[in-house]
Amino acid sequence: MTFKIKQNLLKIFGLIGVSFFLPIFIMTFSNPNTIKESLEPLIEWKLKAEAQSKVKETKILSEASKEKWKKRLEGFTVKSMLRWNKAKLKFAKFLYAKYVKISTKLIRDIRLFSGVNSLVFLLLLFVSFLKKVRIEQVFLPVILLFISTALCSYFYLFNQNWLYTIVFNDYTGISYLIYLIVIFLFECDIVLNKGRVTDALISGFSRS
């Protein structure tokens, strides 16, 4: 592979990644409501389930109020919840607090994911402008980092059960960065070190 092809590959991969992940990262600060709205059905499902459970257990509502809330919750949406909170209806404060908690965790998780990926692709773009000698030296590790990021992104976006994540508060968070580093290190070992460390680890586990 010629130097020019390597340089162009780094630029193309870098530009594609930055154009996709950086706007999402910026959006988590500038317009988080767009992200919330895209996952609104899942947030509504979680809130409705918690609200119905709370209505049954709570002692702050009279029996008549409980019946009213049960009927309200049958057609529950985030918009109706915000309307109830604005009208200062009893129990709406609990729902709004839950909504803020769930959506804050969700935005934080997506911010970390898109921020880490933006940095990786900015690195690819930066490397593409280095001198020929430097690009030749770091090309393979950088490509391995790109593959690791692509793999982790695929599993995060398409293999993650978002309903499970929101319902059980099982957010990836900092774990995403750890997964990315671990996969990258294994790839580097296999490609650059003939898998010596990987073989040693597998042998160690086999013996135990």
- pLDDT per residue, tens digit, the chain (208 aa), is 788 899 999 999 999 999 999 999 999 999 998 888 887 887 777 777 777 776 666 655 666 666 666 676 666 677 777 776 676 666 677 778 888 888 888 899 999 999 999 999 999 999 999 888 888 888 888 889 999 999 888 888 777 766 556 655 667 778 888 888 888 888 888 887 877 887 887 777 777 6
pLDDT at 175: 82
83 vs 99: CA distance, rounded Å: 13
Number of domains in the chain: 1
pLDDT at 62: 62
Q: How many CB atoms lie within 10 A of CB 17?
A: 23
Amino acid identity of 79?
K
| Helix locations, 31-131, DSSP H | 32-38, 40-57, 63-74, 78-86, 92-127
Amino acid identity of 27?
M
pLDDT at 177: 85
Query: Which residue segment(s) compose the domain that 44 sits in?
Result: 3-207
pLDDT at 91: 67
pLDDT at 47: 77
pLDDT at 167: 56
Judging by beta carbons within 10 Å of its beta carbon (0-12, 13-18, 19+), is residue 204 exposed, middle or buried?
exposed
pLDDT at 49: 75
48 vs 81: CA distance, rounded Å: 10
pLDDT at 121: 94
Question: What is the enclosing helix (H) or strand (E) of 26?
Answer: helix 3-30
99 vs 47: CA distance, rounded Å: 7
pLDDT at 48: 76
Distances (CA, A) of 156 to 54, 71, 168: 32, 37, 16
